């Protein structure tokens, strides 16, 4: 395959560019996407029950088929609803105005907050420790760099590597390098943080969904609006394409993309080939997992900023409408 130009750092020897890919990894990615597409199509074609995906879906369902446990019991909290469900159908319940101002953090449940905040706290502590260890490793080496963060993006440094599954210790041949087990092990280590970030973002997204949904439900008490449902009927409106209002969905999607890109630049697989004086490849090659302290620092700062933003946003006050 012809290469038009290089997107990585050139060497002073031959300046050759190569496109290297793994057929095994490509097959795994295609297989995973095929399974995901099949599952989505199966659910779409077989699951014909009414979908309760939004606040509007829930309200529309209650209007069509009233819930016997909530009849004459408006403004129930989550805990009260569970208690009344156990007690069965009963009489009226007098509504008492909350004595304290409700805020966004009241919407998600306490276990959800504990899990999300704990995961983010653990991630911040672990990343800060690993970044400190990586910087210390570079500082201890006798290399001529001002600071570990002076190693920019897309620049490989032989000292900024992990010893996990390192192949430089036994000098493998080309046959050893082409081993799928070795490549898959390195790819797993280099991409494991992407899975962790995805899990953290999922927890982050569920908390935000609860808070935004509660705010949307609150607005019905002060503003007349048509319901947003997945299957609009009459004057109902269609739901958001990203399940969020655009003012929240677009910034969150952008932040997620930037964070994943920074994480992808933090750890990567590096291969070093030895060339002879004629520019030909020697039989010795090295393959390791490299890291960039600058990318790790930026990813750490960006993720911490998202965490702080969530902590500040949860203090927003929910203004309840007056009832007469």
Domain boundaries, the chain: 101-313
Note the pLDDT of residue 179.
60
| Packing angle, helices 180-219 and 246-266, rounded to 10 | 160
The side-by-side arrangement of strands in the sheet containing 267-275 is 161-162, 281-291, 267-275
Note the pLDDT of residue 322.
42
Q: How far apart are the two ends of the chain, measured CA to CA in Å? A: 75
CA distance 1 to 292: 29
| Structure tokens belonging to residue 227 | 């319901």
Note the pLDDT of residue 171.
47
**What is the bridge-based pairing of β-strands 237-238 and 228-229?**
parallel
Contact criterion met (CB below 8 Å) for 313 and 211: yes
Contact criterion met (CB below 8 Å) for 66 and 243: no
Note the pLDDT of residue 169.
45
Note the pLDDT of residue 218.
76
* Distance (Å) of CA 284 to CA 42, 136, 159, 175: 49, 29, 19, 10
Q: What is the DSSP letter of 11?
A: P
Q: Please calculate the CA angle 52-56-57 and round it to the nearest 5 degrees.
A: 25
Could you tell me the pTM of the whole model? Answer: 0.73
**Spans of the chain, pLDDT less than 50:** 166-174, 320-324
Start-end of H helices in the chain: 23-46, 55-64, 78-87, 110-140, 174-177, 180-219, 246-266, 293-313
Backbone region of residue 98 per phi and psi (left: phi > 0; alpha: psi in -120 to 50; beta: other values)? beta
């Amino acid at each position: 395959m012809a290469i038009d130009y290089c997107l990585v750092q050139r060497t002073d020897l031959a300046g050759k560019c190569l496109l290297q890919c793994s057929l095994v990894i490509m097959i795994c990615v295609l297989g995973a996407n095929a399974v995901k597409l099949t599952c989505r199509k199966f659910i779409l074609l077989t699951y014909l029950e009414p979908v309760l995906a939004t606040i509007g879906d829930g309200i529309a369902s209650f209007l069509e088929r009233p819930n016997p446990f909530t009849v004459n019991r408006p403004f129930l909290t989550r805990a009260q609803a569970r208690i009344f469900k156990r007690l069965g159908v009963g009489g009226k319940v007098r509504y008492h105005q909350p004595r304290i101002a409700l805020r966004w953090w009241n919407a998600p449940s306490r276990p959800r907050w504990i899990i999300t905040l704990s995961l983010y706290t653990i991630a911040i502590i672990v990343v800060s420790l690993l970044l400190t260890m990586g910087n210390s490793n570079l500082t201890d080496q006798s290399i001529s760099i001002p600071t570990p963060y002076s190693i920019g993006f897309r620049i490989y440094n032989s000292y900024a590597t992990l010893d996990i599954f390192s192949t430089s210790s036994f000098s493998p041949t080309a046959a050893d390098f082409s081993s799928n087990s070795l490549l898959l092990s390195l790819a797993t280590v280099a991409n494991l943080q992407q899975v962790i970030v995805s899990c953290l973002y999922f927890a982050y997204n569920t908390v935000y969904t609860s808070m935004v949904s509660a705010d949307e439900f609150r607005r019905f008490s002060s503003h007349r609006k048509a319901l947003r449902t997945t299957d609009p009927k009459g004057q109902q409106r269609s739901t958001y394409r990203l399940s969020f209002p655009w003012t929240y969905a677009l910034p969150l999607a952008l932040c997620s993309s930037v964070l994943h890109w920074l994480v992808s630049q933090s750890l990567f697989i590096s291969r070093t080939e030895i060339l002879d004086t004629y520019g030909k490849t020697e039989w010795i090659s090295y393959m390791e997992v490299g890291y960039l302290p600058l990318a790790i620092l930026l990813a750490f700062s960006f993720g911490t900023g998202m965490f702080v933003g969530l902590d500040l946003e949860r203090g927003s006050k929910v203004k309840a409408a007056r009832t007469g």
